[in-house]
Amino acid sequence: MEYALAGKYYYRKYRYELCRLYIDTFSRKPSFQFLDEKTTVQYFTTVFEHGFGIFAIKHGKLYGALLALPLAFDLLVPHKILSKYSIRHSFYIAEIMVSEMFQGQGIGRKLIMNFFDEVNINEYTNVFIRVWEKNKPAIKLYEKMGFKPLASIIQTKLMADKSGMYNFRKIYMLKELKKEFVNGAVNY
């Protein structure tokens, strides 16, 4: 698996695969949300206009992606975060998706590690990620990578089969970016 920094060029090249990966990841059980292609493409356009992605690619096919942009583009940030942290100096990992057949193989961890290689720590001091409270494997991974739960929100979503609405509790997790110099090298 190779990991590539994805800007507008990679987005255009892999737009269809990214859209499929996103819809497949979040519309199947357990999250089972309704997602349509048009809204998804509009969302991705915003992400790639203001942020970037990290793509996991094997033999020219997209199997995983991390999408990130400045926290100011997350319109649901709780007051608890807004009152304590600079939106201007905070980045937001908006999505992490891994193809079902590749889950559990460390791809999510590698996507996050590649993200930390790309984020400008001279400009950004905090990274936030939002995760569904029932996604225990993701929460465990994020905690291992230094993220700590900080606040939560409730989102109302349409079920994938359009049979009704339901509430999701999402947890905001924070990792503070600190430069540490060890033997002349920068570590995070």
Amino acid 30: pLDDT: 73
Mean pLDDT of the chain: 91
pLDDT of 71 higher than 80 = yes
Looking at the domain 2-187, which fold is it? Aminopeptidase (3.40.630)
Amino acid 183: pLDDT: 41
φ, ψ of residue 107 in degrees (nearest 5):
-70, -40
Cα 95 to Cα 38: distance, rounded to the nearest angstrom: 17
Predicted confidence (pLDDT) per residue in 9-52, tens digit:
999 999 999 999 999 998 887 778 888 899 999 999 999 999 99
- Supply 100's token pair: 């079902």
Give the other-Cβ count within 10 Å of 41's Cβ: 14
Q: pTM score > 0.85 for this model?
A: yes
Predicted confidence (pLDDT) per residue in 94-117, tens digit:
999 999 999 999 999 999 999 999
- Can you give the residue ranges of every domain in the chain? 2-187
